[in-house]
């Protein structure tokens, strides 16, 4: 299929959306698959020898998912919560289809795109007909609907300031063993200093920022203390589905935390396929504890715990955790989230308890000696 360079004449994106970029004509025989640079960065070929995501359903809360050759057979019809006409398989904007492609595009020849988890399925939950207006209460409603209809991972490459019900909906997902992944937001679409957008900023959500091919954090990504991971998000090819006057084709290059969010959702799907009995809290622990350190030591506002390491997340020996690591205290070293001891937790251990008792006894002895010395001096005086 011929490459289609889609013009950048969109209205301002009001969410954590991708920004289309016109691709320069290629002077070589470079294929579209070659332009998926992150496939090599993440060593997706090695990951696919382990699993391709079979049996996992990823809900995409977005503008719907339209028809595209790279998505044939990959998308499950869900529900449309958007105002106006259309089903969940209607995408008049193109954003939702692009996110679905990054997660489950089935590949084919080298001029077609390959998703991170091509044997997973996308459940389309249409929370908005366009990129404006999706940051309203239909996102919490969409989260609950996706949980109730079999999603094991929820991708939200969108957001803003949710009106009501965001934290409760996220808690509902976590309580039902579902991993929620959301974009930190794009600087161009939100006021300076607004911070990480919702639902990414809600505790327990895997909030994702973007980095480029060199591993440097994208200057257009919103940073903040809620950021959990960074993943490829710059110069990413994406599918463009039919609908709204669009033709079936591709965006040759897009930038945004939407992209990095979908890639992390694909990674979560691979982990859930490789370890089908692994609880969501331990899926998240695998993602954060195996990330490659980047930025300031420990968890930082740009990279979170670091850059996604897909193969390590699938293969490393990671101990189970007692609770969602994003809801617990973290070590200042930040290499992995660490659950804080709860009340009554015998976390000191026998050796430390004995040391504490001995130290207290020494203090008492020193006080007794001091009292005796002062008493003798008074008697002599």
Q: Which of 48, 68, 95, 112 is an active site residue?
A: 95
Where are the strands (E) in 107-258, listed by range? Answer: 121-126, 153-156, 179-183, 206-211, 229-232, 236-240, 249-255
CA 58 to chain centre: 12
CA angle 167, 211, 196 (to 5 degrees): 25
> φ, ψ for residue 248 (rounded to 5)?
-75, 125
Q: Which of 48, 62, 157, 282 is an active site residue?
A: 62
pLDDT reading at 26 higher than 90? no
Mean pLDDT, range 369-381, rounded to an integer = 61
CA angle 288, 290, 295 (to 5 degrees): 70
Rounded CA gap, 229 and 303, in Å? 6
Is 378 exposed, middle or buried (CB count within 10 Å of its CB: 0-12, 13-18, 19+)?
exposed
Is residue 95 annotated as a catalytic residue, yes or no?
yes
- Which is more confidently placed, 162 or 89? 89
227-280 per-position pLDDT tens digit: 999 999 999 999 998 776 566 889 999 999 999 999 999 999 999 999 999 999
Token representation of residue 312: 């390590």
Cα–Cα distances (Å) from 212 to 54, 99, 356, in that order, read 29, 18, 50
Q: Which of 184, 253, 258, 289 is an active site residue?
A: 258
Rounded CA gap, 161 and 187, in Å? 15
Which residues, other chains included, contact 326 with Cβ-Cβ below 8 Å and sequence gap of 6+?
A: 203, 204, 205, 206, 228, 284, 288, 337
pLDDT at 374: 63
Residue corresponding to tokens 């430390």? 352
Residues forming a β-bridge with 182: 156, 207
pLDDT at 24: 36
Report the candidate in 345, 129, 187, 177 with the shortest Cα–Cα distance to residue 196: 187
pLDDT reading at 2 higher than 70? no
pLDDT at 241: 86
Q: Which of 84-88, 101-105, 184-188, 227-231 has the lowest mean pLDDT?
A: 84-88
pLDDT at 131: 64
Is residue 112 annotated as a catalytic residue, yes or no?
no
Other Cβ atoms within 10 Å of 244 Cβ, number: 15
pLDDT at 378: 62
Whether 206 and 184 have beta carbons less than 8 Å apart is answered as no
pLDDT at 331: 36
87-122 core/surface letters (b: 16 or more CB in 10 A; e: else)? ebbbbbbbbbbbbbbbbbbbeeeeebbbbbbbbbbb
DSSP state of 111: T
Token representation of residue 315: 């293969």
Residue corresponding to tokens 């969109």? 10
Q: Which of 49-63, 198-212, 322-336 has the lowest mean pLDDT?
A: 322-336
The percent of residues above 70 in pLDDT, for the chain, comes to 75
Rounded CA gap, 268 and 73, in Å? 21
Indicate the pLDDT class of residue 372, thresholds 50, 70 and 90: low
């Amino acid at each position: 299929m011929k490459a289609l360079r889609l013009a950048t004449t969109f209205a301002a994106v009001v969410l954590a959306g991708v920004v289309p970029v016109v691709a320069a004509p290629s002077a070589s025989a470079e294929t579209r698959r070659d332009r998926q640079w992150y496939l090599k960065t993440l060593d997706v070929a090695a990951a696919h020898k382990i699993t391709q995501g079979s049996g996992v359903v990823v809900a995409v809360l977005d503008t719907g998912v339209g028809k595209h050759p790279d998505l044939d057979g990959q998308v499950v019809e869900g529900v449309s919560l958007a105002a106006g006409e259309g089903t969940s398989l209607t995408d008049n904007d193109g954003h939702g289809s692009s996110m679905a492609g990054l997660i489950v595009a089935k590949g084919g020849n080298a001029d077609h795109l390959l998703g991170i988890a091509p044997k997973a399925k996308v459940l389309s939950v249409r929370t908005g007909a366009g990129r404006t207006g999706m940051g309203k209460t239909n996102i919490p409603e969409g989260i609950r609907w996706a949980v109730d209809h079999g999603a094991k991972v929820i991708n939200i490459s969108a957001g803003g300031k949710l009106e009501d019900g965001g934290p409760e909906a996220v808690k509902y997902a976590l309580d039902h063993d579902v991993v929620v992944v959301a974009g930190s937001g794009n600087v161009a679409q939100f006021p300076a200093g607004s911070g990480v957008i919702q639902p990414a900023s809600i505790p327990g959500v895997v909030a994702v920022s973007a980095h480029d091919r060199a591993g440097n954090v994208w200057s257009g990504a919103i940073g903040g203390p809620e950021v959990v991971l960074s993943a490829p998000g710059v110069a990413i090819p994406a599918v463009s589905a039919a609908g709204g006057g669009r033709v079936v084709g591709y965006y040759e290059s897009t930038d945004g935390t939407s992209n990095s969010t979908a890639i992390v959702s694909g990674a979560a799907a691979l982990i859930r396929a490789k370890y089908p009995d692994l609880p969501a809290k331990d899926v998240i622990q695998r993602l954060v504890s195996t990330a490659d350190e980047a930025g300031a030591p420990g968890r930082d506002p740009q990279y979170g715990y670091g850059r996604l390491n897909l193969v390590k997340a699938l293969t490393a020996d990671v101990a189970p955790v007692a609770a969602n690591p994003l809801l617990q205290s973290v070590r200042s070293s930040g290499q992995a989230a660490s659950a804080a001891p709860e009340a009554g937790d015998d976390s000191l251990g026998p050796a430390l308890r004995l040391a504490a008792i001995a130290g207290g006894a020494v203090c008492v002895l020193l006080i007794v000696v001091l009292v005796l010395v002062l008493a003798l001096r008074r008697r002599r005086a």
